[in-house]
Amino acid sequence: MPTKTRTRTTPTPMLIPSLIPPPKPDYQIKADPRARVYVGDCREVIPRLEECEAGEVDLIFADPPFNLSRAYDEWHDAMPEDEYLDFTYAWLDLSVDALRPGGALWVNIPDTWAAEIVMHLKGGRGSARCMTMINWCIWHYRFGQNTTGRFISSKVHALFFVKGGAAHTWNGRDVVEMSDRRSIYFDKRTENKRDGMPAGMRLPMDVWYGKFWGRVQGNNMERRDYHDNQLPELYLERVIRVSSNAGDLVMDPFLGSGTTGVIAHALGRRFIGIEFSKANAKSSFERIKAGPVRELGAMKGASTAIFGARGKPRHAAADR
């Protein structure tokens, strides 16, 4: 847990008319690909951004506060449940409106709120912003918070929705991994398959784990100070590669440690980040400029098999 504490304030939404000029970014990279970071409450910033008002954002990745009394610097993370849900539905609706037709929305959220978010995005509670769910993925890690009275939590939900009105971006071949048929069984059928994927490869399963997929804790080379909920770079690389193209506009309403901006910018996407904490926003922007810690694409085509090889390769192709 972070050792640094600050006086926290309870943010209150302020509905700002769209006639007010758009805000100037607090930090920005003007060179292509452009990147902008705004300090403030996303519920106040999003309606004032021209691309959001016009519904032009291609991909939104959101890792919001969990309301579990976590250390988010200036943000008060212990709202009454009704207040937290109102906050959640407000930023979800603004995000949906900001997306282009066919745009993608990914939400990283624990068990506590996953069902409420899914129901809202599917049209629950009278919402007129019904989205289509593509996947309910799980980010699994082995280092969970220890408990003795219930099973240990070792996952977070990665909810993948798209907006109707146009085809959504899907770059499956950019995120393939080695199939178990090749890595474990050396099954020659996977070398000759005709499903559109490269020989011996498959799309990742909807449970995500493996090397460099663990929580960013301890002496992990990716770790930033004072961030106890930092996501691994591989996670955002997968999301951004599969759901956007170079030159597309990616937005993160809860920038936090800045991983979304780091990977989006490094992959040639335009980027908008919004962060409530001034200190976190500054740190994130410096990280965006510095770039990823790990090599992009280094794990493409790697195996995530749980078990080692059984038997021997049957032909040279299995060794590729």
Alpha helices in the chain (DSSP H): 42-45, 50-53, 81-98, 111-121, 180-183, 233-243, 259-266, 278-290
When pLDDT is cut at 50, 70 and 90, the band that residue 316 belongs to is very low
Domain boundaries, the chain: 58-168+212-298
- pLDDT bracket for residue 217 (50, 70, 90): low
Question: How much is the pLDDT for 272?
Answer: 98
Question: Please, are residues 280 and 257 in contact by the beta-carbon 8 Å criterion?
Answer: yes
Give the per-residue pLDDT at 314. 58
What whole-number distance in Å separates Cα of residue 232 and Cα of residue 259? 8
**224's tokens:** 């930033």
Give the residue with greater pLDDT, 250 vs 197: 250
Percent of the chain whose pLDDT exceeds 90: 57
Ranked by mean pLDDT, the top range of 70-74, 121-125, 139-143, 200-204 is 200-204
Instruction: Label residue 19 by pLDDT band (50, 70, 90).
Output: low
Residue 263 has, within 13 A of its CA and on its CB side, a CA count of 28
Token pair recorded at residue 29: 């990279």
- pLDDT over 80 at 220, yes or no: no
Say what the pTM is.
0.85
pLDDT, residue 319, reads: 42
For residues 176-195, average pLDDT: 85
Mean pLDDT of the chain: 85
- The encoded tokens of residue 64 equal 């919001």
Does 5 score more than 70 pLDDT? no
Q: Per the structure block, which two tokens stand in for 232?
A: 């691994």
The architecture in CATH of the region 58-168+212-298 reads 3-Layer(aba) Sandwich (3.40)
Please check the confidence at residue 237 and state whether its pLDDT lies above 90: yes
Q: Quick check: 162 pLDDT over 50?
A: yes
Which has the minimum average pLDDT: 1-5, 106-110, 114-118? 1-5
Q: What pLDDT is recorded for position 71?
A: 62
Query: Are 168 and 102 within 8 A, CB to CB?
Result: yes
Average of pLDDT values for 100-114?
Answer: 96
- Please write the tens of the pLDDT for every residue from 34-78: 999 999 999 999 999 999 999 999 999 999 998 876 766 667 777
Whether 3 has a pLDDT exceeding 50, the answer reads no
Q: How remote is the C-alpha of 255 from its chain's centroid?
A: 10
CB 189 within 8 A of CB 202: no
Of residues 36 and 300, the one with the higher pLDDT is 36
> So what's the pLDDT on residue 238?
97
Confidence check: pLDDT of 153 > 60: yes
Q: Which band of pLDDT confidence, cut at 50, 70 and 90, is reported for residue 120?
A: very high
Question: What integer is the mean pLDDT of 97-117?
Answer: 96
**Residue 9's closest CA among 282, 281, 278?**
278
- Please give the pLDDT value at position 260: 97
The reported pLDDT for the residue numbered 225 is 64
pLDDT at position 88 is 96
User: What's the pLDDT score for residue 224?
Assistant: 59
The answer on pLDDT for 26 being more than 70 is yes
Asked whether 58 and 251 are in contact (CB, 8 A), the reply is no
220 versus 129: the higher-pLDDT residue is 129
The pLDDT confidence band at residue 290, using thresholds 50, 70 and 90, is: very high
